[in-house]
A = this chain, B = another copy of it.
Amino acid sequence: MPAPTPATSATPARPVRRRAGRPTAAVLDQGGITTAALELIGTKGYNGLTMAALARSLGVAPSALYNHVSSKDDVLILLMDHLAAMVDVSAFGSEPWESAVRRWAWSYRDVFSEHTPLIPIIAVLPVANAPKTLAMYESVTAGFREAGFPEDRIISAIVALEAFVFGAAYDVTAPDDIFDAGSLASQVPNFTAAVDRLALEQHDRPTDVAFSLGLEALISGFGALRA
């Protein structure tokens, strides 16, 4: 390690004091807030995402945020919609329906498995408030329709796939020993045997095995509905 440079640290909240009153140019906007929130989550996790910390990272007072978002929940919605745009829908229209669904679902799970606190938000938020999420739905719906999926079941199928994806995203974050019954093991012999049996298979990621199993069942079950 070289000698520490004096005062200029890595990327601290720039300690330049701004005095009260409207600045000549706005220092905040929703895009900047979203980016700063994402960075904060990356370094400190969701527990570190407080309005105070967010303001600090942007070099403003906490109350300044409320000129651009109406609440902390609003920040979470911004984040959620930003992440929806990162989900890979590119295979719809360029690949067979089965592999397009597969790519979409794996990508969707991977993106949100690192942002599970947003799941309660996205699962119940009206799409009108999340344009990028809506764009994702449009791509997926178009892919289903082009693949000959019966029109009146497209939304139900997407909702079901999404439910599975959200639940699976939580599972990714579960500890490795979640199924260790400990001292109660002898009271649940069937369960313990099944857990041991899975461990014997020596999969890299049990969560991926379960996701694949469920996803393939959904894909082939839904695939049978196509014309």
Query: Quick one: given A163-B168, A168-B163, A184-B134, are A213 and B124 in contact (CB under 8 Å)?
Result: no
Is A217 in contact with B222, judged by CB distance below 8 angstroms? Answer: yes
Is A159 in contact with B126, judged by CB distance below 8 angstroms? Answer: no
Is B207 in contact with A159, judged by CB distance below 8 angstroms? Answer: yes
Query: Quick one: given A127-B179, A137-B188, A194-B141, are A163 and B170 in contact (CB under 8 Å)?
Result: yes
Closest to A185 in B: B128
Query: Quick one: given A134-B184, A163-B168, are A157 and B213 in contact (CB under 8 Å)?
Result: yes
A57 at the B interface (CB under 8 A): no
Indicate the size class of the contact surface on chain A.
Answer: 35 or more
Copies of this protein, total: 2
Is B170 in contact with A138, judged by CB distance below 8 angstroms? Answer: no
Query: Quick one: given A194-B145, A198-B155, are A164 and B160 in contact (CB under 8 Å)?
Result: yes
A-B contact pairs, 20 of them (CB 8 A): A123-B173, A126-B177, A126-B182, A128-B181, A128-B184, A131-B184, A134-B184, A134-B191, A138-B188, A141-B191, A144-B194, A151-B194, A152-B197, A153-B198, A155-B197, A156-B213, A159-B171, A162-B171, A164-B214, A218-B221
| Top 9 closest pairs, chain A to chain B, by CB | A217-B221, A160-B214, A163-B167, A123-B170, A128-B182, A159-B210, A166-B167, A138-B188, A167-B167
